[in-house]
Amino acid sequence: MKINFFKIIIFSFITFFLLVFWLGLKKDNSYNTTNLIGNKISSFQLASIHNSDLISDELLKQNEFTLINIFASWCAPCRLEHKYLIKLANQNRNVKILGINFKDKKNNALNFLNKLGNPYNFVAEDLDGKASILFGTYGVPESILVDKELTIIKKIIGPIGQRQFEEILKLTQ
Amino acid sequence: MKIQKIIIIYFFLLSTLYSDEVNLEVMEIYKNLRCLVCQGQSIADSNSDFALTIKLVVQDQIKEGRTKKEIYDFLISKYGEWIVYQPTLTKDNFFLWFLPYLVLVLGGLIIFFITRKSKHNKAN
């Protein structure tokens, strides 16, 4: 009787641990911030890169949709996605694009825009990167699509490709 | 002259003592934040771009007089629960929080019953 009791305990412990490890190994633990879709972005106020204007969340409320794109001239994937941003700016009037220049030098950023074209309706500077935390980004490039109420509709971590580009078009029709 | 020196040393020590206290608090916050772009490192351990930015923001918020909880809440609202190492209690993870206590109580009960049994056996 006594032995049975211990056997049951040991058996249940082993099954429990095997189950935990089995489930733990199967679980997808790559992290992303897509769970923040549906949240509102917080208010912000950033200096424009072109002049002394301030760019704030109030400005975005006037747009049907805004794509907030965090970019830098030193970031290679940003160059890859740039043509899609330009395509988006030309094709879709519903979406305004706010570029946030992340940890960059002003001259380099302006050169970058002169050379590759400027798809942005507004470009704000974030020289020390602190503002990027407000948007919940952890790298460049990253894009956040928000609607008129500043609710996050989509987050794209990494460069925008053909698939993401089509998705943005679909969401903003 | 001697007194002056002592006073200077006293204030110097006082200031280092004070700054240590502040740093400890900041370090504690850094250590409880996960560096999202590094594998298995906290913000305190990492020198990645992301970690450096988070450090700046935490320092700013401390200067503004925000409490530890407010800083964690702010970062959780931006990055989700994943950014803190010590998650808050929710219905998804209450098992994780209470399992150790459950095992403790269960173990106590098992020991209690075994000792009682052996006492009975001895008595018999």
All structural domains of chain A with their residue ranges: 1-30, 34-171
CB A69 within 8 A of CB A97: yes
Please work out, in degrees rounded to the nearest 5, the angle formed at the alpha carbon of residue A57 by the alpha carbons of A56 and A62.
110
Residue B75 with chain A: CB contacts under 8 Å: 133
B78 to chain A, closest Cα gap in Å: 5
- Residue-wise pLDDT for A55-105, tens only, equals 999 988 999 999 999 999 999 999 999 999 999 999 878 899 999 999 999
Topology, domain A34-171: Glutaredoxin (3.40.30)
CB contact under 8 A, B37 and A139: yes
pLDDT digit string (tens) for chain A, length 173 residues: 566 878 888 899 999 999 989 988 887 766 666 677 888 888 899 999 988 889 999 988 999 999 999 999 999 999 999 999 999 999 878 899 999 999 999 999 999 999 999 999 999 999 888 888 888 888 889 999 999 999 999 999 889 999 999 999 999 88
CB contact under 8 A, A138 and B60: no
Does A54 lie at the interface with B, CB-CB under 8 angstroms? Answer: no
Residue A39 with chain B: CB contacts under 8 Å: 77
The overall longest dimension of chain A from CA atoms, in Å, is 85
Amino acid letter, residue A38: G
Task: Point out the residue among A33, A42, A130 whose CB comes nearest to the CB of B53.
Answer: A130
Determine the average pLDDT of the residues in B34-45.
Answer: 88
Nearest to residue B79, comparing CAs of B42, B48, B41, B35?
B35
Please work out, in degrees rounded to the nearest 5, the angle formed at the alpha carbon of residue B47 by the alpha carbons of B42 and B48.
90
CB contact under 8 A, B78 and A134: yes
Residue B79 with chain A: CB contacts under 8 Å: 33, 36, 136, 138
- Residue-wise pLDDT for B105-118, tens only, equals 999 998 998 888 88
Nearest to residue A60, comparing CAs of A170, A169, A149?
A149
- The Cα B96–Cα B93 span in angstroms is 5
- The Cα A22–Cα A69 span in angstroms is 39
Letter string b/e over residues B79-113, b meaning 16 or more CB atoms within 10 A of that residue's CB = bbeebbeeeeeeeeeeeeeeeeeeeeeeeeeeeee
Q: List residues in chain B touching A: CB distance below 8 A.
A: 36-37, 49-50, 52-54, 56-57, 60, 75, 77-80, 82, 110, 117
